[in-house]
Structure 1
Amino acid sequence: MEGPARGRRRRVIALRAVLPCLALIAFAGSSAEAQTLTPDLFRPQRDGFLTAQNSPLRKIGDKSDPTADPTDPANDPKLRDKDVAPPAPSRIGQIPTYGLPAANGAAGSGFDSLNRTRKKPKFYPGQAKPKPPPGPGTPALSTPAAPLVSIGRERLAVPPSETANKLPIPPAMAGTVVGQPPRKRLLIDNDPFGAVGDYVGGFLVKSAVELSGGYDTNPARLPEPHGSPFYVVAPEFLAVSDWERHAVVADLRGSFTGYGNQMPQIVDGAVSPAPTDVDRPNFIGHVDGRLDVSHDLRLTAQTRLLVTTDNPGSPNIQAGLARYPIYTTLGGTFGFDQNFNRLEIAAGGTVDRTAYQQSKLTDGAFFSNDDRDFNQYGGIGRVSYDLLPGVKPFGEIEGDTRVHDLQFDRSGFQRDSNGGYAKAGTSFEFSRLLTGEISIGYAARNYIDPRLERLQGLLTSASLIWNATPLTTARFFSDTQIAETTLPLTSGVLVHTYTFEVDHDFRRWLTGIGRFTFGTLDYQGNVRRDKTYSLEGDLIYKMTRNLWLKGTLRRDILDSNVPLSSSASTVVMLGVRLQN
């Protein structure tokens, strides 16, 4: 019983082992019958099976194949090793790459892998939108029409020795590195013909000089015009610190105007009110400093210098002068600036010194001007509040004391005084179209001499810039000053000046400027009232960043209620500006 049972068990095990093999052979035969073969590579099948001659494993162009077609290019031994592409490399063990960049952090707009909306980049007006950077796996760009050179099993667009010569700039700068983020765009140069300047240590330094020449029909502003040619030399210097903390700014500007003709000593049978030599220097400069003690506390300081003469046509000019006496005003301000969130408080002390040279007369004698020399001490405070973005109202108050070197002046009056002003206004910025500051207030000055009445009046101050169009800019300036005088029984001069200016760029290199100035001079305690008008037109041709040509035509008018004090003048000037 055990013998027949054991035999049947062995036959069953053998049958189970043979069945998979038979099924595999049957599946291979049916697949071979159903497969469509390429006639260029395989020969006719025999009984549904591939022979050694038509097998795809056979080497192409093998001469041992008796059925090979000698006219087939694939069987040409001269071409098979040169033009036939090598087999594709295996993907086993290789990391797959894709043509699309990764979602997270791949772009600055759209959505990332966490479905977060990214902020779209902003571009400047007229700026072309950059193309999206190539993502990881994107093949590097090759030079068009470059020959393919085989090195082993790899192919390069150009030989390795010539790769560096084909690229004009490094790939990192060209933006061709795979996965490199887009480079940050630089700001557009608003003034393509402006001075570039040089860096000296931590300062950006810009300098310029203007050389001009022309003709003035009445340089001394006499009632009877007497013209003269003239020249002007006007240097400029600007230095601005480039520090993370603290700041220093130096702005120095000067000029010298020389005339070719001398003015007459006698006008209408009387001694001329103007000197024979009307050459005039002028310099104005200031150096500002800021020390950042903390985020909200800053110490500020300023030193200033003014060198000039009395204006032609002024009643303060002595008769019989050989030239204008030069006076100098040197001063400084020292204070602090403190922020309390939106509230800002600034305060400081001021000190100024004004000194005149001696007057040289036409007969060679000298006349002292010590009675016009004085010191001024004062203080100033300002409170402002950041009410809205771009709107910052403020209030300002100032007080000072003037002490003259001599107690009595040339007319026997005591000129020492106390005065000041108070004003309120706001600074604003509306979409960069209208920016500036405007204020209104009241100014007054009391003199020690009871014969001199109180000097007082409305104070107006403004500095507005309106960018009407990208090519046109309008500006408005207003200022009020209290000036000293030597006229008897006259307290001082309340001077209001209003200037309106329009700049228009016909081309980037051609700019036209129109300017109108109106001023009033109120000699309080005196019947004299003067009005000044000035209409000017400039045309600037910007050849390069370092060379400009400038032409000027100006008409000046002084209208006074005092006889023989009015004057008019026309100025024509052509010059060149050299800057760096």
Structure 2
Amino acid sequence: MSGPATGRRRRVNVLRALLPCLALIACDGTLAQAQTLTPNMLNPERGGFVSPQDLPLRRTGDTTTDPTDPTGDDGLRRDTPAPSRIGQIPTYGLPAASGAADTGFDSLNRTRQKPKLYPGQARPKPSPGPGTPAPPTPAGPAASTPPLRLSIPPSESANKTPLAPALAGTVDGQPARKRLKVDDDPFGAVGDYAGGFLIKSAVELSGGYDTNPGRTFVPQGSPFYVVAPEFLAVSDWERHALVADLRGSFTGYGNTFPPTADGSVSSAPTNLDRPDFTGHIDGRLDVTQDTHITSEVRLRVSTDNPGSPNIQAGLAKYPIYTTLGGTFGVDQNFNRLEIAAGGTVDRTVYTDSKLTDGTASSNDDRNFTQLGGVGRVSYELTPALKPFVEAEGDSRTHDLQFDRFGYQRDSSGGYAKAGTSFEFSRLLTGEISAGWAARDYVDPRLDRLQGLLVASSLTWTATPLTTAKFYSTTSIDETTLPGTSGVLTHTYTVEADHDFRRWLTGIGKFTWGSLDYQGDGRFDRFYSAEADMIYKMTRNFWIKGTLRRDWLDSNLVGNSTASTVMMLGVRLQN
């Protein structure tokens, strides 16, 4: 058969063969509704083709259905507007730290460990990632365009560059950003870390003029220079501690001073160059939370002070003495009660004196070894007030039984004092104590040396730019004067620091004290007024100027002195 009927049958057979493919497309939901085509859907009047009106398509932009809608189009409404995107901040890319592992920490310092959930506990919902569509808008007469809302008020965001979410701290789950600590000393040395130690170093190079470097009755001036290195290392450990503080200087003078014609004791050496070094290394071993083993190793290198009666006549240069010692003890805490005890050992050795005639004089009679012990009991009344009681005893044994004048200098003595340490709102901090010191000598011709002991170290922060300090010390020193037991030395210092700018600091200092030569009748008073100006160019480079005036007032005629020191230098630190 041929004709129109044959053509129609061929087209019907082709459509029947395509029915399975059309059914799969309809199930996927991309072109047609979820229904199966049947031969009844063919329209013979239109040449056997299926009309688009006969296959209604599903709109993917709207999934809301209304079962009560009698239109039969499954509740779809063509007049429903899409959600407004005005005022919405678009999100691009992937969330921060999305590629991190399930353990450890991610780039936002968040832990990646999965939380442990109790039985029946709801699992936390993950935060929506970028590209997540907004919740659907309900259809119907009540649906309307959402109001325009900005995430940031215009008054805060106007003329401001937007920050990345990671910098602004708005990333979901990111911990709050820590506020940076205010630097109390913006021009102070930063230091370097070497392993578990913070190391700071510095050196000061200065030059100036001293109107009386030998501190003689008849002044004679000289230019001088000073090289003063410093080294500080502090451990940064969770337990235990170790601190090394080393400071030294060398003062050199450009002139030489010939010996005086009368050869008086107060005459200065011909060469006034002298070193000075003070260093200590402190350690603490934390056995338990309340038990600590403490130790200290100390070293002192210096000379007799210019103008001291211990200086021999006809010296070519000052003899150098070295004191090496240590303290080893234990600290034990019983709640608020703290008990500390330790033993001390010190060894002092003098070099031989070089005289102007080329000969040398021995100072072995000045060498001695000191052994002693110290104990301290303190109780913390409040976190800001901690009174204490301290006692010390020692014995000094000289290398030679008799000194150059035939006196036996071996002795024993100590001190006892009481005081308190305090800290009031960090405005007034420090420690102050008072007591009594005494020393008895083997030689019966030497009287007991005794006197009031005052020790303090106070810091008062008057304003953020002004700081006042007060500190005092008391010591019992050896002497070579015949018939004199020793020297009881009291020293008091008041200091005020003021920052005119953070980079410009002025320092005023006043020191006074007394030297009591018990057994000789000599009594000296000394005073010193000093003004410093420091210009801090950078953290590593400072410029420092010093002007100082020293006085020594003695009750013995011919021993009073005065001197003015002017100095300018730089400080290099790291």
Calculate the TM-score normalised by the size of structure 2: 0.72
Deviation for aligned residue 1:88:
3.5
Gaps of 5+ in 1: 1-49, 59-84, 91-135, 141-166
Which residue number corresponds to residue 237 of structure 1? Answer: 231
SS in 1 for 2:166: helix
Deviation for aligned residue 1:265:
1.1
Which residue number corresponds to residue 12 of structure 2? Answer: none
RMSD: 2.3
Does structure 1 residue 352 correspond to structure 2 residue 351?
no
| 1:43-65 Cα deviation digits (max 9, x unpaired) | xxxxxxx9xxxx9849xxxxxxx
Are 1:137 and 1:178, in contact at CA under 8 Å, matched by a contact in 2? no
Deviation for aligned residue 1:263:
1.5
Q: Please, which of 382, 407, 413 is the counterpart of residue 376 of structure 2?
A: 382
Which residue number corresponds to residue 326 of structure 1? Answer: 320
| 1:31-81 Cα deviation digits (max 9, x unpaired) | xxxxxxxxxxxxxxxxxxx9xxxx9849xxxxxxxxxxxxxxxxxxxxxxx
Deviation for aligned residue 1:187:
1.6
* 1:254-273 equivalence runs, <5 A: 254-266=248-260, 273=267
SS in 2 for 1:218: coil
Gaps of 5+ in 2: 1-70, 86-126, 132-160
Q: Please, which of 83, 91, 100 is the counterpart of residue 88 of structure 1?
A: 83
Which residue number corresponds to residue 308 of structure 1? Answer: 302
Deviation for aligned residue 1:562:
1.1
Are 1:290 and 1:301, in contact at CA under 8 Å, matched by a contact in 2? yes
* C-alpha separation in 2, matches of 1:347 and 1:169: 59
| 1:68-126 Cα deviation digits (max 9, x unpaired) | xxxxxxxxxxxxxxxxx983399xxxxxxxxxxxxxxxxxxxxxxxxxxxxxxxxxxxx
Which residue number corresponds to residue 518 of structure 1? Answer: 512
| 1:165-221 Cα deviation digits (max 9, x unpaired) | xx9997434423135342121321100000000000100000000000000000000
Q: 1:558–1:138: structure 2 CA closer, same or farther, 3 Å change rule?
A: farther
* 1:66-215 equivalence runs, <5 A: 87-88=82-83, 171-178=165-172, 180-215=174-209
- Corresponding letter in the other structure for 1:423: K
* C-alpha separation in 1, matches of 2:573 and 2:510: 27
Are 1:264 and 1:272, in contact at CA under 8 Å, matched by a contact in 2? no
Does structure 1 residue 293 correspond to structure 2 residue 291?
no
Q: Please, which of 424, 427, 450 is the counterpart of residue 430 of structure 1?
A: 424
Which residue number corresponds to residue 495 of structure 1? Answer: 489
SS in 2 for 1:426: strand
* C-alpha separation in 2, matches of 1:421 and 1:309: 26
Are 2:296 and 2:326, in contact at CA under 8 Å, matched by a contact in 1? yes
Are 2:266 and 2:309, in contact at CA under 8 Å, matched by a contact in 1? no
Q: 1:170–1:287: structure 2 CA closer, same or farther, 3 Å change rule?
A: farther
Deviation for aligned residue 1:274:
1.1
Calculate the TM-score normalised by the size of structure 1: 0.72
| 1:498-536 Cα deviation digits (max 9, x unpaired) | 000000000000000000000100000011100110000
Q: 1:298–1:479: structure 2 CA closer, same or farther, 3 Å change rule?
A: same
* C-alpha separation in 2, matches of 1:531 and 1:349: 34
Which residue number corresponds to residue 481 of structure 1? Answer: 475
Deviation for aligned residue 1:497:
0.2
SS in 1 for 2:218: coil
* C-alpha separation in 2, matches of 1:88 and 1:407: 105
- Corresponding letter in the other structure for 1:578: L
Which residue number corresponds to residue 539 of structure 1? Answer: 533
Which residue number corresponds to residue 80 of structure 1? Answer: none
Does structure 1 residue 471 correspond to structure 2 residue 479?
no
Does structure 1 residue 559 correspond to structure 2 residue 553?
yes
Q: 1:270–1:488: structure 2 CA closer, same or farther, 3 Å change rule?
A: closer
Does structure 1 residue 458 correspond to structure 2 residue 458?
no
Which residue number corresponds to residue 527 of structure 1? Answer: 521
The number of aligned residues is: 430
Which residue number corresponds to residue 142 of structure 2? Answer: none
SS in 2 for 1:371: helix
Q: 1:180–1:325: structure 2 CA closer, same or farther, 3 Å change rule?
A: same
Q: 1:283–1:169: structure 2 CA closer, same or farther, 3 Å change rule?
A: farther
Which residue number corresponds to residue 341 of structure 1? Answer: 335
Which residue number corresponds to residue 408 of structure 2? Answer: 414
Deviation for aligned residue 1:269:
7.6
- Corresponding letter in the other structure for 2:360: F
* C-alpha separation in 1, matches of 2:389 and 2:264: 51
Which residue number corresponds to residue 569 of structure 1? Answer: 563
* C-alpha separation in 2, matches of 1:259 and 1:316: 21
Q: 1:451–1:88: structure 2 CA closer, same or farther, 3 Å change rule?
A: same
Are 2:492 and 2:511, in contact at CA under 8 Å, matched by a contact in 1? yes
- Corresponding letter in the other structure for 1:506: F
| 1:435-483 Cα deviation digits (max 9, x unpaired) | 0000000000000000000000000000000001111000000100000
- Corresponding letter in the other structure for 1:417: S
Deviation for aligned residue 1:537:
0.2
SS in 2 for 1:548: strand
Which residue number corresponds to residue 397 of structure 2? Answer: 403
Q: 1:265–1:170: structure 2 CA closer, same or farther, 3 Å change rule?
A: farther
Are 2:263 and 2:314, in contact at CA under 8 Å, matched by a contact in 1? no
Are 2:390 and 2:418, in contact at CA under 8 Å, matched by a contact in 1? yes
| 1:265-310 Cα deviation digits (max 9, x unpaired) | 1256868621000011000000000000000000000000000000
* C-alpha separation in 2, matches of 1:494 and 1:451: 18
* C-alpha separation in 2, matches of 1:426 and 1:272: 41
* C-alpha separation in 1, matches of 2:509 and 2:350: 32
Which residue number corresponds to residue 449 of structure 1? Answer: 443
- Corresponding letter in the other structure for 2:212: N
* C-alpha separation in 1, matches of 2:372 and 2:162: 64
Deviation for aligned residue 1:429:
0.5
Which residue number corresponds to residue 269 of structure 2? Answer: 275
- Corresponding letter in the other structure for 1:224: V
